[in-house]
Amino acid sequence: MKKRTIMVCDHIHESGLKMLAEQSDIEYINVADLPKDELLKVIGKADVAITRSSTEVNEAFLNAAVNLKALVRAGVGVDNVDIEGCSKRGIIVMNVPTANTIAAVELTMAHMLSCMRAFPYAHNHLKLDRVWKREKWYGYELKDKKLGIIGFGNIGSRVGIRAKAFEMDVIAYDPYIDPSKATDLGVEYTTDFDDILACDIITIHTPKNQETIGMIGKEEIAKMKEGVVLINCARGGLYDEEALLEGLKSGKIRFAGIDVFSKEPATDHPLLELDNVTVTPHLGANTHESQYKIATQAAQQALSAARGISYPNALNLPIRENEIPEYAKAYLELMQKIGFLAAQANAGVIKSLKITGEGEIGEYIDSLATFAAVGALKESLGENINYVNAEFVANERGIEIHKQQFPATGPFKNKITLRLTTEQGVMEISGTIFNENVQRIVEINGFTLDVEPKGRMILFKNTDVPGVIGDVGQILAKHHVNIADFRLGRDKKGMALAVILVDNDVKEEVLRELDSLSASVYVKYVIL
């Protein structure tokens, strides 16, 4: 089988590179140090590319990337990615939307505190000028100040939580959320933008698009109270920088905390000349923790895409349900993984797929069926199957697709199940999502388990007799296969099913030796 090529175009944390390098079925090429004009000469080798802000995914890039199937933007912003151009070429674009959330939240709070206490200037006055002059540095407290938050998503909402801990009054403006997302946190919600403009401190946490570019300009600043403090740790250009400069010079804006600029690097920006601005060079994601998470999540997404398993956080999936909520998207991804797992574990000509959705997720049964079909058929059809043609190909092959939806009756608010039937038998797998994005397989062929659908797995069914776990462990140890996790399910018929997650590739001889155990019913090996 031809190895898929993942090309890393920009620098990411070593942890992500190590993850890619360890994969035996992947050819990994790191071209982060290559000049961008040289990158265009080699990007044609890539099946999947990982980029950051330094690489412009424009027409020239896409014309050169003739084999590209997917692109992972290692970070949140995709301002430098021509998503429409990617879609026209069938390239799926993914980002890593939550890895740097806490880093950006904490930087926002740091700027807010620095502005209110003029911290950098007091620091420099003492440390650089060696002047001890306490009376020069009277600041302001956050307590009882009114904070206006524009954009109340992953970052904005967490800023709100922390601001409440400082005993601030918090008001949120975000026309794209359910008001309860704010009010449940004790935050006031408004649909009147003027309510935000009347706040003591305003911070912005929106994406950069036609609606948000320059959304705080001269007119908006004119409506603000005297001495307002503005924070921007989101995207350069959300504040009109000329209007911001004018407001800071006039004193209308007492202080501003800025991490991002319209054009970067911004080493000669006029804002740097002012003494009522705290600035940082786009450090929103610059913590060791966030860089580790960004790199490992981007690498995992690239691996899943290269193997055709799933496309986490895809921004342009060719599926019609454009208004699917975030919680449902997690179930769609899980369903595709379940389909891929079931097809590997129950190898053979697929006869039928039965998709069940219990709870609210049942409303998206058609989409669940599409993703299940893609996952199940990927094992046999590879790149020839996609979200557009999946059900058509299934029908063409005589595969019956059955869909059922039920209200939630068990312990889970939402549960999805795929029953895949081949001439070899039946594989039925159920899964759910915990805490919004934690994927779990909770049942396999009637055995209750709790398994993360990720990596290399051995499915070992056996008669439930003493000594089996020890025998399995000894065989794997003998072949230097390290066990990462061991999950066991038992039924009332004297049977057990173990799902063993391992760190190494498992050779056929290991599987044969496991199957030779007297207690063995079957052994399956799958890779997600």
* Nearest residue to 431 via CA among 338, 326, 528: 338
Catalytic residue among 111, 158, 205, 235: 235
d(CA 293, CA 302): 14
Edge-to-edge strand order for the sheet containing 26-30? 26-30, 4-8, 48-51, 70-73, 92-95
Bridge partners (DSSP) of residue 495 are: 463
Distance of CA 44 to the CA centre of its chain: 26
d(CA 367, CA 387): 9
β-pairing, 350-358 with 415-422?
A: antiparallel
Decide if 11 is catalytic.
no
d(CA 482, CA 469): 14
β-pairing, 253-258 with 425-434?
A: unpaired
Decide if 282 is catalytic.
yes
Catalytic residue among 282, 456, 479, 490: 282
265 burial type by CB count under 10 A (0-12 exposed, 13-18 middle, 19+ buried): exposed
Contact 50, 9 (CB under 8 A): yes
Decide if 235 is catalytic.
yes
Location of structure tokens 């429409």:
84
**In 22-174, where does DSSP find H-type helix?**
36-42, 59-64, 83-88, 101-117, 119-127, 154-165
d(CA 375, CA 369): 10
d(CA 488, CA 88): 45
> Nearest 10 degrees: CA dihedral of 270, 268, 102, 54?
140
Catalytic residue among 59, 141, 219, 264: 264
Other Cβ atoms within 10 Å of 400 Cβ, number: 12
Bridge partners (DSSP) of residue 425 are: 422
| Token pair listed for 183 | 């009010």
Bridge partners (DSSP) of residue 57 are: 81
d(CA 363, CA 407): 10
* Nearest residue to 463 via CA among 490, 436, 441: 490
Residues identified as active-site? 235, 264, 282
